[in-house]
Structure 1
Amino acid sequence: MVENMEVDQPSENATGGEAWSALGVPEEIKRNLIEQGFLTPTKIQTLAIPPAIFGKRDILGAAETGSGKTLAFGIPILDGIMKLKAKHGKIIKTASGSFKEVDMNETECDNESDEDEDNESKAEESTISDNGIGLVKVIDNVEIDGFPEKASNKPLKPLYALILTPTRELAVQIRAHLIKAAANTDIRIALVVGGMASVKQERILKQGPEIVIATPGRLWELIELGNPHLNQIESVKYLAIDETDRMLEAGHFEELHQILEKMNFKESKIQQRQTFVFSATLSLVHDIPDYLKRKKQRNSRSRIKKLTPEQKLKKVIDILKLKNPKVIDVTTKTGTTNNLTECRIVCSIEQKDYYLYYFLQRHPGRTLVFCNSIGCVKRLAQLFSILKCKPFPLHASMTQPQRLRNLERFQSTENSLLIATDVAARGLDIPNIEHVIHYQVPRTSESYVHRSGRTARAMNEGLTVLLMEPTEKHNYTKICKTLNRTEDLPTFPVVDRLLMCVKERVNVARDIDKLELTCRKENFDKSWRQKAAREMDILLDDDDADEQDSEEAKGKADAKRSLQGKKARLEALLKKPLFPKNYSGKFLDHSLELSLEQNSRRAIDVMKDEIKKPNSKGKKRPLKLYRPDPKKPKLEETKTKKK
């Protein structure tokens, strides 16, 4: 059963060390938290840390995005490791299986700094910035010549904790947070994710980090290769799984189930382990997808059914072998935080580009745009690059260094634009994201909650805008129903007369994109034909080739002239102010003058004012659920009648 825990909370006047001390946080970690500006624990931290530290309970927590879940499980893990090292620090198992007494504080690995871990090529590295995005540049003096090293009796340091995440970016972020929390301690934290050379990660693991943060795929790969440090996962004292509901979805992360099977092989090890399970949508249950409903209708024996929140949690408990877990649910009924303002814009597919560009130009600020597919991300990134918006794309087909580099640039650039798939939806804590725009309606309510949760974090305000075309109405109503919404999202105000200027720019940019694609395709086709002829030792007919080349040259010249003309036209349009600030009011009505004054206002303030207006489009209205019209003939019936 889901419960809102009631525990002894710190006094309302408690701040700094006093507030953290009441939760059982050790002095070393407490000082680090205060230095970082974390003076008061969040609600999920207040409810989760005491039972974890004092009661050694397994924790199953559901909390809104940006509520501090990482430290809610990170602090108890760090506290437990510090106590274990103080108690058992001198007993270390050797690679040969014997035990050797050493001082863990004087081993070679512990004396090395974070900058001594690795020395791979710069192309595959990014640096962890102060804000916590990137990988660590490290140096290692160990030389690897491609030959396996001889077995030795060098002490094998224990692996105390394993933290699993669905994405590389989230793993990098968690490591950055824990490194700051564990500053001035001798706890080492390693990252094991795809996109980095496995040899590099094996070298880091040789140093015996107490905590490993990993994605399931790369972790299982190294386990199968027989990595000595990771082969200790059966004996880890702490296991944390972030974004658990996605990690345990059927068909995703098969390696996770193999990892859990290995960890849960011995009952005695399960009893000695403390497990932390967290997600923003852990207790959220969406409707069965349409394709699964159709499958169930075709197969009468199918057991596909919608779970209740209690059944979903019980399933998680059974899979992870949790022992008397403390279930903590501090999410709201609507699934999103109270300081998030939600709205929508209803338009056609063709108009989505117009409204997106309108919003970006009218309301500058750090903006994250979500798409449902990689193809859509690539198209928008190309189009808005032509429009000089300098977008940073992020999707699963990019290499790990590219993804981390774009995240860093997005984070460090003012009024920046990130266009991403759901790879950026879960867990990423990028500060000061003002707007989240759903370019396409998410397929599930979980995706909507996690996407929207990239803004309005840590008590800051945020705005999310849903661009919806008519065919997406079905998914929209399903999301509203799952999130207990009885009213439509309010409509974001758009000035139609100002939108006309936007359309001209976007249309010219679209033409440029098409012409550039045509030119690239023609060049590719010609080089492909010539290459194929050479490989097959075929001589092309000179007359035919000359005639074809002449036609291609003429077409290419025409396309090039047209492209240059379009680029010149766009350049001229971009030099003119899109929303002029100093118009004489001679030819403008009062409403347009007021709308021009709103250019400097924050989008969230404009939306809040719109909601307050009586009888405005921004007013919430009862939600109209999507239902097929029984009187409306189906497409097949219409065709039959015409015949």
Structure 2
Amino acid sequence: MTDKQHNWQALLQGRTPTPVQAQAIPALLRGEDVVTTARTGSGKTLAFLIPAAARGLGRAVRGMQPEVLIITPTRELAVQVRDVARELNLSAGRITGGITPQATRAEATGKGVIVGTPGRLKDLITKRELNLSRVQYVVLDEADELLSLGFLRDVGDILRAAQAQARTRPQVAMASATFPAELRSVAEQFMNRPTRIDVNVPGAPAVPQDVLAGASDATHLLVHTTRDDLLDTVAEHVRTALAAPGGCVVLFSRTKHLVKRRAQKLTTLLPHEVVAPLEGNMDQKKRERTMTLLREGQSRILIATDIAGRGIDLPEVRLVVHLDVASTAEDHVHRSGRTARAGQPGTNLVLLTPEQRQLWQSVRRKLPQALQPPVTPEEKQIDPAIQETQGRKQTPRPPQQATRGGPAGSTANAQRRRR
């Protein structure tokens, strides 16, 4: 190990390493493949970028021949990781949907670190524009999402291409706030005896092998409401959360249509605030405009689909509101983790209508105790006749089966790849 690798803590610029950084970085510097699960806001991005910087990877290169390849499920997260890499003086670019081929080449050419979404990465690999022969280090950020069926085929193809093209077998790191047990067997097919690092929160989940880390410092609340009163209720909580200057709130809706409709209504209910929507059908310029408004404080209210639950870091999120119950416990954890980050306070609020009580009971059972709001008598009063049904994520199959299972993907899979 070089002197620079020994001095990796200098890259934190005086900050104390978080638990996940203290455990993961030395393992990665030893050359081990690593699966890391830790709560959101715990410093996972630096935990997998610092080893690259300490080893001297990620320098400027010729063409599109990166030394470091980082795969993310969303465009917003790709941009965020790229920007953090640049803060470490790494030469970093991104390859995602939503930008022209010319802009992609300008962004990615000469960069030692490429951060991208699966569909676009695979497309450029297939066209032989992205050359993986120099890749030494591959990271899957939000690995549980990337190894679900919506992305599994593309991610598997990218990892196999990296292993086939690279001069030496690339080191692989996977990081997420949630990592269900069934995904570990999929992950390990691409890794060499991976080291498992779980920095978990108090309270064991219902399935011991599942790891659901989340924002344990948040205050977790549940409030009963009705469909008709839902937006009036959330407006009241938002006003309270934003009474003091600064900060923001994040509201989660189940569908793109609901995001649009509720954003319009909340703009009327909260006339002194800018309500910023974020959903997958928005073009890239609108998505980037939304994130800029939030990060610059021009907007303090984000309403989004679960696209915003995956790793997106916003300054001082005081309140997260589940306008609709998440489809899975994993999604609930990712949503909740937008608040109470890096030691700051925050509140995670479930607004529960009678139609969603059954789904909430299913999600609640799988959450660690530390992430559960106090139980209320009403939530167990379930009328089966009015319960809403939501699409559940399928249990992932091994990559070989997923690859053989029909055409390139269903409509749902195609939509996820276009993120």
TM-score when scaled to structure 1?
0.54
1:71 aligns with 2:71: no
CA contact (8 A) 2:253 2:322 kept: yes
Provide the rounded CA distance (Å) in 2 between the counterparts of 1:391 and 1:385.
6
Q: Which amino acid aligns with 2:92?
A: I
1:235 shift after superposition: 4.2
Relative to structure 1, the CA distance from residue 157 to residue 376 in structure 2 (aligned partners, 3 Å threshold; closer, same or farther) is closer
Relative to structure 1, the CA distance from residue 23 to residue 462 in structure 2 (aligned partners, 3 Å threshold; closer, same or farther) is farther
CA contact (8 A) 2:28 2:51 kept: yes
1:373 aligns with 2:255: yes
CA deviation profile, 1:60-107 (whole Å, cap 9, x unmatched): 10000000000111011122235x97xxxxxxxxxxxxxxxxxxxxxx
1:313 aligns with 2:210: no
Relative to structure 1, the CA distance from residue 270 to residue 352 in structure 2 (aligned partners, 3 Å threshold; closer, same or farther) is farther
Provide the rounded CA distance (Å) in 1 between the counterparts of 2:224 and 2:135.
51
CA contact (8 A) 2:274 2:298 kept: no
1:57 aligns with 2:26: no
CA contact (8 A) 2:137 2:170 kept: yes
Q: 1:239 aligns with which of 128, 133, 138?
A: 138
1:627 shift after superposition: 7.6
1:197 aligns with 2:172: no
1:453 aligns with 2:352: no
CA contact (8 A) 1:434 1:461 kept: yes
1:489 shift after superposition: 2.2
Structure 1: gaps (5+ residues): 1-20, 86-108, 111-154, 285-308, 491-619, 633-643
Q: Which amino acid aligns with 2:69?
A: L
SS of 1:252's equivalent in the other structure is: helix
Q: Which amino acid aligns with 2:94?
A: L
1:479 aligns with 2:336: no
SS of 1:275's equivalent in the other structure is: strand
Q: 2:287 aligns with which of 377, 397, 403?
A: 403
Q: How does 1:298-377 map to 2 (within 5 A)?
A: 309=181, 311-318=182-189, 320=190, 322-332=191-201, 333=204, 335-364=213-242, 365-377=247-259
Relative to structure 1, the CA distance from residue 382 to residue 158 in structure 2 (aligned partners, 3 Å threshold; closer, same or farther) is closer
1:234 shift after superposition: 4.5
Q: Which amino acid aligns with 1:481?
A: R
SS of 2:55's equivalent in the other structure is: helix
Provide the rounded CA distance (Å) in 2 between the counterparts of 1:211 and 1:281.
25
Across the aligned residues of Structure 1 and Structure 2, the Cα RMSD in angstroms comes to: 2.8
1:272 shift after superposition: 2.7
1:312 shift after superposition: 3.1
Structure 2: gaps (5+ residues): 206-212, 386-419
Q: How does 1:13-162 map to 2 (within 5 A)?
A: 24-26=6-8, 30=10, 33-34=12-13, 39-53=15-29, 55-82=30-57, 158-162=65-69
Q: How does 1:256-335 map to 2 (within 5 A)?
A: 256-265=155-164, 269=166, 272-282=169-179, 284=180, 309=181, 311-318=182-189, 320=190, 322-332=191-201, 333=204, 335=213
User: Percent identity among equivalent residues?
Assistant: 29
1:435 aligns with 2:319: yes
SS of 2:317's equivalent in the other structure is: coil
Question: Which has more radius of gyration?
Answer: 1
Q: Which amino acid aligns with 2:198?
A: D
Provide the rounded CA distance (Å) in 2 between the counterparts of 1:433 and 1:251.
29
Q: Which amino acid aligns with 1:435?
A: L
Structure possessing the higher relative contact order (Cα contacts under 8 Å, 6 or more residues apart): 2
CA contact (8 A) 1:193 1:218 kept: yes
CA contact (8 A) 2:122 2:158 kept: yes
Q: How does 1:537-616 map to 2 (within 5 A)?
A: none
Provide the rounded CA distance (Å) in 1 between the counterparts of 2:370 and 2:283.
42
Give the aligned length. 368
1:406 shift after superposition: 1.0
TM-score when scaled to structure 2?
0.81
Relative to structure 1, the CA distance from residue 66 to residue 395 in structure 2 (aligned partners, 3 Å threshold; closer, same or farther) is same
1:205 shift after superposition: 3.6
1:382 aligns with 2:364: no
Aligned counterpart, 2:416: none
Structure showing the higher helix proportion among its residues: 1
Q: Which amino acid aligns with 1:437?
A: V
CA deviation profile, 1:525-584 (whole Å, cap 9, x unmatched): xxxxxxxxxxxxxxxxxxxxxxxxxxxxxxxxxxxxxxxxxxxxxxxxxxxxxxxxxxxx
1:463 aligns with 2:360: no
SS of 2:15's equivalent in the other structure is: coil
Provide the rounded CA distance (Å) in 1 between the counterparts of 2:66 and 2:79.
19
